[in-house]
Amino acid sequence: MSQQQTNMDWMLKDLAESVPQTRHVIVLSADGLRMAQYGAETDTADRLAAACAGLQSLAGAVASELPNSRGRMRLVVIEMDGGFFYLMAAGSGAYLAVLADEGVDAGLMGQRMRDLVARIGEHLSSPPRRDGQLA
């Protein structure tokens, strides 16, 4: 476990425990690699992180169709049977993802996610990769 992940674990746990019905909290890089997690098995977190890379790319493509958007995704919310999925930009090249049960307070979740990103945004930045290595 990296030092960065260890430093974020308690913050991710705080988010999960402060919003009832939260199931998984994951921090990922723009290329879909898990950087930190809480509440999810490693395999689950890795699958969600990979899926998030596609979602953020798709959201960016849609955003580029809006004037003055610069093609940047800030928040994606998906409501599905059984719950909600949230994906928020959380620093340069990093994202915060949350999977929650359907009884979650959506407003509280958004607020807590924004608070977490504001508190630790600089720790959530992921440098670009070149040839599979950090640049």
At 65-95, the pLDDT tens digits run 888 877 778 899 999 999 999 999 988 888 9
Q: For residue 109, give the DSSP letter.
A: H
Q: What pLDDT is recorded for position 37?
A: 93
CA distance 24 to 87: 12
Residue-level pLDDT at 133: 55
Residue range 49-66: mean pLDDT, rounded: 90
pLDDT at 128: 56
Q: How confident is the model at residue 1 (pLDDT cuts 50, 70, 90)?
A: very low
Average pLDDT over residues 48-64: 90
Which residues lie closer than 8 Å to 26 by C-beta, 6 or more apart? 34, 36, 37, 38, 40, 45, 48, 49, 52, 96, 97, 98
Q: How confident is the model at residue 42 (pLDDT cuts 50, 70, 90)?
A: very high
Other beta carbons within 10 angstroms of residue 29's beta carbon come to 22
At residue 5, does pLDDT exceed 70? no
Outline where DSSP puts E strands in 22-128: 22-29, 34-38, 75-80, 83-89, 94-101
Q: What is the pLDDT of residue 127?
A: 56
Query: Which amino acid, 92?
Result: S
Q: How far is CA 73 from the centre of its chain?
A: 12
Tell whether the model's pLDDT for residue 27 goes beyond 80. yes
* DSSP 8-state code for residue 65: T
* Residue pair 34/53 in contact by the 8 Å Cβ criterion: no
